[in-house]
A and B are shown apart, each in its own frame.
Chain A
């Protein structure tokens, strides 16, 4: 309701007043041209009429003239600070820009001047939910309910608001009240069914299991709740919690409905006091008995049999394993090894699997040159070889795996899985080029299969062959997209973005790497924005349980490994940039676009021109086309990432990227290391030290932690020498807990080295610390070469990291190290001399189809 006395600047004479009403109507109907004209007529006589300025700005935004429109809206607001219309429009436009914080402020202002405007209240509620201001949300929803109690969704929305705010009891009360007064519900009403299921869930969350079960049963009987699976799941859970006799039947019913759900078996057994994660001798017997019974009853389901393998031990395990293996090897199931891999945590089971499978192989083996004897199942033979190859590679025996694969390929040269895995083994052994070549051969065996195509692309990226990878991906991306990369980015392919970013990073192309990592960040920003429409939609549809599930997912969205990885790696690049700003200039001078990228740039330019021409035409005609409140995706004006690298304040950008990780990746040592690196350079010493403390709690022996402790000690010492004593006691005393004050950092470092002298990564860490402490390069090199000692368990990753480190310190001993590493990892190619790289890269692209066919014919004849 507008205030009774209108401020003088807002009031319009009769003619303009009715014109203004026209503007509002035109906008509602999206008659943009008309609305614009009417608004301009008013402004001719009243150029400072805030509300008209705002409406004109809003219309311009809808017409695509967004910058102009936004400026006008801002002006309009300034001219009428107490108009709810102005603030509402301002909020609408800010919401369209995804600036939810500011939009909510505008809406809140609007509500000051029109407390009971339903539209504004509803939009405010959505924004409050998006921003997780649940206390405000409860108030807003209360107001909406008070104003329109006959609207069902207002009840549900309030119950949900209470729930989100943590007040389950109030939520329950609202739902109970609602159910008492709701009338005229048609039969089989899915919406009411969902509301009731939500009510049951609230009762369960409150721990009121009896009430929950009673409500469930009443309404299930009366067919008010119609989701059978949900009913059964609630019933099983609630009966179990109440230790009711009906529970067993409930779980049984669930298994009958879906015999492939592990949760159901778990629930069934748990209900009988059997905890699958903590079996006793007694419960083990009971569990096996139950599972055998289920396996008989549900022969098509793999779950009971597979669970039995997890539960059984010793001879009984062997007895169950053999038929399980045989059937699946005979059928040729590619995922068999992946399926059994979890059992390897138990070394005795691992050994039994190995002996049983090898015995099986022996019974199937035959002379390689002769055709397969009729007594032997060729499918079983090949898949047994495949399984054992996976087994041995998993245990680090890559040579053995390759030998098995070669036998299999000779026997069955057309099975892509064999080539795929051959590539995988080479990857593990440090030969990314050979790996890419083999995976390409797999791809060539079935050009219709996108999975093989995706793998091939991925392996090319792992080998650093970015252009070639994009070329392969392009066989399956949309033809009308500007480029394969753009399509994969538009379709939010995190796999592609991360792998390509990593490839660029390894190639030293920090600009493109950063660009792709930030594209990952953008995808997650979009995921976060996506929930917005559902704040209204789900309430209207009454699908509350899934809506709450959505919010929960959104709350921990950035805990996803892709985000964590992208944030950490991007922050590392930005830290590098801070330490050495010349990297940015190098990037732009080196920028050379690949053929594919040049083509894409041309295509994009053409498309852009077309759009501009159409826009000109449109604005010449003054079209009514409603472009909406949200701008489309911006065009890519930084194709080689150079601008991103040159953008200011890299540390601040890095800090922003890393912020979610302190809660969502709090068990990740690398995350804390990255947070430290940024904090210490921003001179936030307490935050930096806290990051190290968190890392220490997780992994006190971590080399990444160790080098940073030394780094911190160095920085702190340099700082302390300049500033006064007492200002720094907290930090000093905390640091002293790691490095006692009387222990010089050099000694701290050698103590660490001594304590972890058989760990390759620790040796590298100590050497890095040495370098930080100013040790001469020869000394650092000698230290790092310690990873080659026979009693050190050297991992391939560590050897690669040592190689990179030696390059960074510009050591003349790089080639020496690489030769030694190659000797340690004979199958590897990553340590090949630089001169061999071009040939290796060329070899990574597989044989042409014709050549593959020629080879096939050799075997068939």
Chain B
């Protein structure tokens, strides 16, 4: 029985384990703590009988210059392979976005995705209305380029 809810401190180890199993971009617990303790409302988890099977780790941009609108950023999102096809990634993203808007009045959210990750790209573009705004060369540790994608909250659907 998979349940979706706001992330809490005791979920962080499970999120870290989920991340280590699925993605090559990993973080020490310090980072998880920093994001959760700074922006506690915007990270969500998918939990199955106490086990974290999916998560979205998000934050707000801290340095907001004059004239720049508040905006959020997806640090990491992943669902265990055994729990795919349930629409969890999409649901987690929507919940995080709702929180960014309602708590921080975010105008948009950004994320990075590997150029070669077609499945993720499709999810962000088709199911979640993200658009590519630029390419960051050699963003990933192994040298791969990233698409920077953005989803605006201003119009109902862009």
Interface residues of A (CB under 8 A from B): 188, 190, 226-230, 257-258, 260-263, 300, 302-303, 306-307, 310, 331-335, 338-339, 342, 417, 448-452, 454, 476-479, 488, 490-496, 526-527, 530-531, 534, 537-538, 541, 543, 545-547, 549-550, 552-554, 560
Contact = CB atoms under 8 A, between A and B. Distances in A.
A543 B37 contact: yes
A229 B4 contact: no
B82 A334 contact: yes
Nearest to A476: B24
Nearest to B6: A229
A229 B102 contact: yes
B22 interface: yes
A550 B37 contact: yes
Contact of B33 (A494, A530, A552): A530
Given A334-B83, A335-B86, A526-B29, A553 B38 contact: no
Interface centre among A261, A417, A449 (most CB of B within 10 A): A261
A342 B30 CA distance: 34
A529 to B, nearest CB: 9
A554 B10 CA distance: 9
B28 interface: yes
Contact of B1 (A226, A306, A494, A530): A306
A254 to B, nearest CB: 11
| Number of chain B interface residues as a range | 35 or more
A440 to B, nearest CB: 16
Contact of A495 (B17, B40, B80): B17
B30 A450 contact: no
A541 B142 CA distance: 36
A813 to B, nearest CB: 42
B4 A333 contact: no
Nearest to A495: B17
Contacts of B123: none
A534 B16 contact: no
A850 B86 CA distance: 33
Interface in B1-37: 1-6, 8-10, 12-13, 16-17, 20-24, 26-30, 33, 36-37
B84 interface: yes
A553 B10 contact: yes
B37 A495 contact: no
For the complex of A and B, the 8 pairs showing the least CB-CB separation, nearest first, are A546-B40, A553-B9, A451-B81, A260-B4, A262-B3, A228-B102, A491-B26, A550-B9
B82 A335 contact: yes
A541 B28 contact: no
Contacts of B99: 227, 229
B133 interface: no
A339 B1 contact: yes
A342 B95 contact: no
Contacts of A331: 85
Contacts of B115: none
Given A227-B102, A526-B29, A260 B2 contact: yes
A303 B1 contact: yes
A190 B105 CA distance: 11
A310 B86 CA distance: 19
Contact of A190 (B28, B36, B103): B103
A226 B102 contact: yes
B41 A227 contact: yes
B134 interface: no
Contacts of B40: 543, 545-546
Given A260-B4, A549-B9, A537 B37 contact: yes
A549 B33 contact: no
Interface string B74-102: 00000011111111000100010011001
Interface of B: 1-6, 8-10, 12-13, 16-17, 20-24, 26-30, 33, 36-38, 40-41, 48-49, 53, 80-87, 91, 95, 98-99, 102-105, 116, 141-142
Contact of B86 (A333, A541, A545): A333
A450 B103 contact: no
Given A261-B3, A332-B85, A334-B83, A530 B30 contact: yes
A450 B21 contact: yes
A531 B36 CA distance: 12
Contacts of A547: 37
Contact of B29 (A227, A332, A496, A530): A530
Contacts of B10: 549, 552-553
A6 B144 CA distance: 63
Contact of B5 (A263, A417, A553, A560): A263
Given A229-B102, A300-B87, A534 B9 contact: no
A260 B91 contact: yes
A332 B82 CA distance: 11
B33 to A, nearest CB: 6
Contacts of A477: 24
A552 B11 CA distance: 12
A493 B24 CA distance: 12
Contacts of A545: 40
A541 B38 CA distance: 7
A546 B36 contact: yes
Nearest to B21: A454
Contact of B17 (A257, A494, A554): A494
Contacts of B141: 478-479
Nearest to A452: B81
Given A449-B81, A454-B21, A546 B37 contact: yes
Contacts of B27: 491
A279 B77 CA distance: 37
A495 B20 contact: yes
Contacts of B30: 530
Contacts of B87: 300
A531 B85 contact: no
17 contacts: A188-B105, A190-B104, A303-B3, A306-B1, A307-B1, A331-B85, A334-B83, A451-B22, A451-B80, A451-B82, A478-B24, A491-B26, A527-B29, A543-B38, A543-B40, A552-B9, A553-B10
B41 A230 contact: yes
A492 B28 contact: yes
Nearest to A310: B1
A46 B5 CA distance: 63
Contacts of A333: 85-86
B94 to A, nearest CB: 9
B3 A260 contact: yes
Contacts of B41: 227, 229-230
A682 to B, nearest CB: 32
Nearest to B32: A530
Contacts of B49: 342
B22 A450 contact: yes
Contacts of B102: 226-229
A479 B22 CA distance: 17
Contacts of A534: 33, 37
Contacts of B22: 450-451
